[in-house]
Amino acid sequence: MADTHRTRPRSAIVVGAGIVGLSTAWFLQKHGVSVTVVDRTGVAAGASWGNAGWIAPALSIPLNDPRTLRYALRTLPNRAAPVRIPLSTDPTLWRFLLRFAANCRESSWTSAVRANQTLNNECMAAYDELVVNGVDAPVTDAPITALFRSSADAEHLLEQLRRLHDAGQPSSVTELTGAELRERVPLASSDVAVGVRINGQRFVDPGRFVHALASSVVERGGALETIDVADVRTSGRGVAVKPVSGPPLAADVVVIATGAWLPKLVRRWVRVPVQAGRGYSFTVPVQRQVFGPIYLPDVRVACTPLNGKLRVTSVMELRHPDAPVSAGVVDAIVDAAGGFFDGVRWADRDEIWVGPRPLSPDGRPLVGSVLDNRVFVAGGHGMWGMKQGPATGRLLAEQITTGKQPPGLRDFDPLR
């Protein structure tokens, strides 16, 4: 509800220098707000660096799909499976899992698809606005091609895309076989019989883009500081952001966009649990041309051409966001993906990375006010933060500066 007596904010502190936080800062600047961005480590230090970089609304499949739950339970004993849930007594993890399981119903999944449509519909335009106005990083138009060993395997993805379409998320696909498939994906091995091209998508180099976005925020007068925030409180008519060490920072409003670390600062207000779903990536040299992103749905691997190499990403590992790299994960990804490709130099892999995606149990982000239209939250985008970050920032900046919640954010209320 709008606060008709509220003064338009002139200053804001954004906690978190990933794609969501920096996008919010950039669009707040567009509304004339003075912005300071703080992060405990630096720009793109969480999930915003090593992800696949896909801007792919057609593949916006909420995680709380009943089929995902069945798959996770079926593969739980397999230590090499792409979905990894540790056998833990951590009550925080079990609280998330119970809430997630309760939301793995067809009705909840459909609600998540429909709720995310606003962000998906606006994601391309939000990226265009950033690039046209000085964010110096390319956004590449390219279809995503999914590879399969058989037509029966491909039918699983096509059926999923039909479900998304029925729930309101449109897509355009082209099936590829024979010479057309080899021409489109020269890396495809002889084991690959069918490709499904998902048209009208985009991709970015995520680390490069987020750093360019940070540079743009600074060039437009914003401040960027490395600060580990311990607490956020209201103070007078504004907010106080208290670092672990050093004096507090003051502003009219604060936006907390700390990804998988969100609960640390917002648990006193927000009851929706946010769990780290850690994804892994690495980069490999290739001996054949790659024309666009490649998707391997059967083994849950996403590949993106970056700087003449191929970034390979996979795994959903429910562990603490700061846990070290788990042994054997990269080898398991190579074993799963290797049979789909010829011309990939797997032994020369480098840039091994793990980053925690912030998962919500109901497939919907947490975006909006949590206290007096002075403390705002932006997070919980799961695997789609890179795609939805700029659109989230644009809509949230509108809410912060006008006091009116855009209709597209109503389903993302952090206090739900």
| pLDDT one-digit tens code per residue, 151-164 | 999 999 999 999 99
Strand 366-371 to 301-306 pairing: unpaired
Identify the CA nearest to 19 among candidates 385, 278, 358. 385
Residue 386: pLDDT over 90: yes
pLDDT at 2 over 60: no
Instruction: Please spell the DSSP secondary structure of 303-370, one letter per residue.
Output: EEEETTEEEEEEEEEES-TTPPPPTTHHHHHHHHHGGGBSSB-GGG-EEEEEEEEEE-TTS--EEEEE
Q: How far is residue 73 from each of residues 65, 66, 86, measured CA to CA in Å? A: 13, 11, 12
Check residues 163 and 7 and name the one with the higher pLDDT. 163
Q: What are phi and psi of 56, to 5 degrees?
A: -130, 80
pLDDT digits (tens, 9 = 90+) for 263-290: 999 999 999 999 999 999 999 999 999 9
Phi, psi of 215 (to 5 degrees): -60, -40
Whether 3 has a pLDDT exceeding 70, the answer reads no
pLDDT band at 395 (very low <50, low <70, confident <90, very high): very high
Distance between CA atoms of residues 49 and 410, nearest Å: 29
Task: State the angle between helix axes of 385-402 and 117-132 in degrees (0 to 180), rounded to the nearest 10.
Answer: 90
pTM summary value = 0.96
Q: Residue 25: pLDDT band by 50, 70, 90 thresholds?
A: very high
Quote the pLDDT of residue 4: 42
Mean pLDDT of 11-32: 98
* C-alpha to C-alpha distance for 327 and 330, rounded to whole angstroms: 8
What is the architecture of the domain spanning 11-409?
3-Layer(bba) Sandwich (3.50)
Write out pLDDT tens, residues 360-378.
999 999 999 999 999 999 9
Let me know: does 238 contact 33? Beta carbons within 8 Å: no
Q: What is the mean pLDDT of residues 70-75?
A: 78
How many helices and strands (H and E) does the chain possess?
Answer: 11, 21
Output the six-digit token pair for 182.
Answer: 């080899």
Would you state the pLDDT for residue 83? 87
